A and B are shown apart, each in its own frame.
Chain A
Amino acid sequence: MDFLYNILVAPFAMIGAAPSFFVEVLIGGLLSGVMYSLVALGFVLIFKASGVFNFAQGAMVLFAALFFAGFMDKGIPWYGALPLTVLVMLVLAMGIERVVLRPLVNQPHIILFMATIGVSYFLDGLGQTIWGSEMRVLNIGIPQNPINMGPIQVNAFDIVAAVVAGSLVAALALFFQYTRIGRALRAVADDHQAALSVGIPLKTIWAIVWTVAGVVGLVAGVMWGAKLGVQFSLAMVALKALPVLILGGFTSIPGAIVGGLIIGAGEKVAEVFWADAIGGGIEDWFAYMLALAFLLFRPQGLFGDKIIERV
């Protein structure tokens, strides 16, 4: 009975007693959800353009962050480290396209998925062989102090992260909508064969997409790295992007954003108000359960189309 009370009544009583605290938690959750969206975005880009479920996105986040932090430790200022790391990600993308994707073209999706797990192991190993496995502090001068907005306190860092993520999404949307490459990307996403037949170079497109995903990973890596420090566990953060994906749908950029927000907010709220009742550490699985419960009611995700099956 106590347990039921702690789950069903006490948290709501707590929320009712201090609504402004609840709003504060909620906003904190939404803002940290943006960080999940950032990682999920990389997945979506690649899935859309090549149908590959890129498990290595998390490793790419870590890889990019390691290089960025490593360059900065070598005394290169951030405006120098950034293009250098982008260059690294470009080389990486071309390498992946050449060594992994091209030989595996036309294989079933599960084979490509497995290959990206291989890529993920490889990158984790390579990054740490080069830069070592001790934690690196990444200080890029983002303020960490809390800001008061009326009765509500918000961390400045979270706001910066949200702004960065927002501008990144806007830039991507513009890129997809209005550039020649963007159009080609959308064509490839629709139908590989048809795109090939009108002369779109598939290989180049894939290299570009993986580079863009790498850059998105870099941004995510820098933001997460500044928050948590650059270390191996960063690759695990990326696993959190998976429930975001199933919430939002694998092919929807707005889905990735909204999914991230829902997961971030849900997780924070559950952690603050329900952790007492069911024990700490629920952030390990809460996002997955939330996504799972959601899927049972809407199997195609938030922004997916209703699936009409044909025979």
Chain B
Amino acid sequence: MFYREAGQFKASYAADQQIFPIRQDRIAYYTLLAVAFAAVPMVANEYWMATILIPFLVMSIASLGLNILTGYAGQLSLGTGGFMATGAFAAYKLSTWDIGATFGLAEPMHLHMVFVFLGAGVITAAVGVLFGMPSLRIKGFYLAVATLAAQFFLLWLFNKVPWFTNYSTSGVISAPPRELFPGVVITGPMAHPVTKYLFLLSLVVLLALGAKNIMRCHLGRAWMAIRDMDIAAEIIGIRPMRTKLAAFALSSFYCGIAGAAWAFLYTGSVEPLAFSIEVSFKVLFMIIIGGLGSIMGSFLGAAFITLLPVLLTNGPRLLGLNIPVDIISHLEFMIFGALIIFFLIVEPHGLARLWQIAKEKLRLWPFPY
């Protein structure tokens, strides 16, 4: 009844090409932003911030990244964890880099956190391009297995080469405390969850907007063309090499930022173990359950996969059941697996498609025709 587009005419192509062509969608979007930026920090307690909202936002970035590569450009990757680790270690090296000493200044000086994150993204993008090279010759599952090489090699590298951990003896390195603005600490143990949350949220909004924009420009169309039929794409003049490598670069840029955010804004420590193959699978689940080739789906999937374990661990306790911890962790595996199968059977196109169907229904409601 309220969700109608009748009477909303577009007089220009610019109006027709905007992200939310329907007015109600636009209103919903701005409301959501307002809630996320203003209401949530006031309402949510620290536990919610630190254990649910922040990891959800971090994983949304990773899942946006993988969706660019797999959902839009059609290149299956299992190397997400490795790329996230690259981002985390790049950010660590950049944030501990004493520019003052390098350029012979008297005072020690450090890169600003914004540049640390950007730099981590750019470095990861370069690594991503390197490991994306095989995609020029191999496709599908062969490529997926090849990206596992990135996953295992990168983690091994960060484990073995002491330079990456600044020769730390314990092997556990923590994110150095840094300020976003003078007086506002963003990383390290003193940083307030709300600060981290707001910084992360801005990052997420910008990155999601960037991804959405690219998908309505020529690069986005080139990716989808390669995904849908690579030979035809080449014959109409799309250069496969550039296009695929661009996908790897941008996807890894996102994953790198996600990795840096994971280490600096969520766990506060940088360790390769946090980016194991399990993470790669988790992100893949996110985009499949959320919806391949959908920005919205990346968020829905990230929310689902981050919330599910929280529910599974806390659910039985809330119901008053007392199940031993190790059994719970096994059960968690089972339920996780079963739910994934269930979702794939019910809606192979993910939550984003369900959302779309719901909107279609809403347009007609309450009259069925």
Contacts and interface: CB of A to CB of B under 8 A. Distances in A.
Contact of A242 (B148, B156, B332, B345): B148
A48 to B, nearest CB: 14
Given A104-B344, A107-B348, A120 B156 contact: no
Contacts of B331: 125, 129
B327 A129 contact: yes
A289 B154 CA distance: 11
What secondary structure prevails in chain A residues at the interface with B?
Answer: helix
Contacts of A111: 288, 344, 348
Contact of B341 (A115, A243, A284): A115
Contacts of A119: 337, 341
| Size class of the B contact interface (CB-based, 8 Å) | 35 or more
B15 interface: no
A288 B341 contact: no
What secondary structure prevails in chain B residues at the interface with A?
Answer: helix
Interface in A84-129: 99-100, 103-104, 107-111, 113-115, 117-126, 128-129
| Size class of the A contact interface (CB-based, 8 Å) | 35 or more
A246 B145 contact: yes
A311 B341 CA distance: 35
A285 interface: yes
A239 interface: yes
B10 interface: no
A243 B78 CA distance: 13
B209 interface: no
A288 B153 contact: yes
A104 B232 CA distance: 28
Nearest to B327: A129
A125 B235 contact: no
A136 to B, nearest CB: 15
Nearest to B152: A285
B273 interface: no
Interface string B212-253: 000000000000000000011001000000000000000000
A296 B134 contact: yes
A129 to B, nearest CB: 4
Contact of B138 (A128, A299, A309): A299
A239 B326 CA distance: 24
A280 B156 CA distance: 9
Interface of B: 76, 134, 137-138, 140-142, 145-146, 148-149, 152-153, 155-156, 159-161, 231-232, 235, 277, 281, 284-285, 288, 292, 326-327, 330-341, 344-345, 348
Q: Shortest 8 CB-CB distances between A and B: which pairs?
A: A125-B333, A122-B337, A121-B337, A125-B334, A118-B340, A288-B149, A285-B152, A285-B153
9 contacts: A99-B341, A114-B285, A118-B339, A118-B340, A125-B330, A239-B148, A243-B145, A291-B146, A295-B134
